[in-house]
């Protein structure tokens, strides 16, 4: 009886592997510094029976290890989808790297991989800035992620990208009314301001003149409608909009 049960298990295991091969094998790398979140995504997606393919979701919580996985996979069998959180470090961390940096790097290393962002940033300015700079294949607000949206995201991104959750589509509509996006230099200035960096030191770091920095800060205050306030108000407004 034991031998028969073992043989049956072998048969079923072999059968499942054959089915996976026939249906195609889709690989996703989900990167988020909150392990419980990506574990949830993994269980939901792998538990669903996709009609045309078998899905395998790998998870990673660290930036450098995610890079290692992407490089190693690119050499043999690139990930089909890179599912990236925007904020990959705690707010108190001084590391300025985000999922955007990882995505732009990954596009060079593994151009076959589709990029999908998941984020808590719901601000119209931030969403449009991210999509404009990275041009991902999908963007999902974490508050709108559920079983249905995850399954729909996978099939849409694989066969007919892009995929956006409802609020992201609303952000596109609202974008028509206001098209201002801080560029990379403005973002760098905002980041240094948030750390308390003084203008002379900032000028050296960013290779800009002090007058250029002052002009850029003034223009940002105007765009953020805090023109009559100080740098602290500018930083606070930039944080609210998700730019730092």
> Rounded to whole angstroms, how far apart are CA atoms 79 and 26?
8
CA 45 to chain centre: 18
pLDDT of residue 172: 74
Residue listed under structure tokens 């450098």: 64
| Angle, vertex CA 38, rays to CA 37 and CA 43, nearest 5 | 105
pLDDT score for 1: 47
Task: Kindly provide the residue ranges of all beta strands, DSSP E only, lying in the chain, ordered along the sequence.
Answer: 25-31, 54-60, 81-85, 114-119, 138-141, 163-164
Q: Are 45 and 79 in contact (CB under 8 A)?
A: no
pLDDT in tens, the chain (244 residues): 445 555 666 665 565 555 544 457 899 999 998 889 889 999 999 998 888 888 999 999 999 999 999 999 999 999 999 999 998 887 777 788 899 999 999 999 999 999 999 988 877 777 888 888 899 999 999 999 999 999 999 999 999 999 999 888 887 776 655 556 788 899 999 999 999 999 999 999 999 999 999 999 999 998 888 878 888 999 888 887 777 7
Instruction: For domain 184-240, give its CATH number from 1.10.357, 3.40.30, 1.10.3470, 1.10.10.
Output: 1.10.10
- pLDDT of res. 158: 93
Q: Length of the chain, please?
A: 244
**30 close to 38: Cβ distance less than 8 angstroms:** yes
What is the model's pLDDT at position 176? Answer: 53
User: Would you say 56 and 46 are in contact if contact means Cβ atoms under 8 Å apart?
Assistant: yes
DSSP string, 192-230: HHHHT--HHHHHHHHT--HHHHHHHHHHHHHHTT-TTS-
pLDDT at 177: 52
32-175-240 Cα angle (round to 5): 50
d(CA 125, CA 230): 21
Nearest to 117 by CA among 108, 125, 128: 128
Q: What are the extents of the domains in the chain?
A: 2-175, 184-240
For domain 2-175, the CATH architecture is 3-Layer(aba) Sandwich (3.40)
Q: How far apart are the C-alpha atoms of 113 and 73, rounded to whole Å?
A: 10
């Amino acid at each position: 009886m034991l031998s028969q049960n073992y043989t049956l298990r072998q048969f079923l295991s072999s059968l499942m592997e054959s089915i996976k091969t026939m249906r195609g094998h889709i690989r996703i790398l989900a990167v988020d510094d909150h392990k419980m979140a990506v574990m949830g995504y993994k269980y939901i997606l792998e538990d669903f029976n996709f009609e045309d393919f078998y899905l395998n979701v790998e998870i990673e919580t660290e930036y450098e290890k995610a890079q290692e996985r992407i490089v190693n996979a690119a050499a043999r069998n690139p990930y089909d989808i890179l599912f990236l959180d925007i904020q990959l470090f705690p707010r108190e961390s001084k590391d300025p790297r985000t999922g955007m940096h990882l995505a732009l790097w990954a596009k060079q290393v593994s151009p076959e991989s589709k990029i999908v962002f998941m984020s808590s940033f719901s601000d119209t300015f931030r969403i449009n800035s991210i999509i404009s700079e990275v041009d991902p294949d999908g963007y999902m607000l974490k508050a709108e992620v559920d079983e249905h949206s995850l399954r729909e995201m996978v099939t849409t991104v694989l066969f007919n990208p892009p995929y956006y959750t409802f609020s992201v589509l609303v952000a596109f509509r609202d974008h028509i009314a206001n098209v201002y996006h801080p560029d990379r230099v403005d973002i760098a200035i905002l980041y240094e301001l948030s750390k308390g960096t003084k203008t002379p030191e900032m000028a050296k770091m960013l290779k800009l003149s002090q007058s250029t920095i002052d002009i850029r800060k003034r223009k940002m205050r105007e765009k953020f409608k805090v023109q009559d306030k100080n740098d602290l108000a500018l930083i606070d407004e930039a944080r609210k909009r998700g730019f730092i």
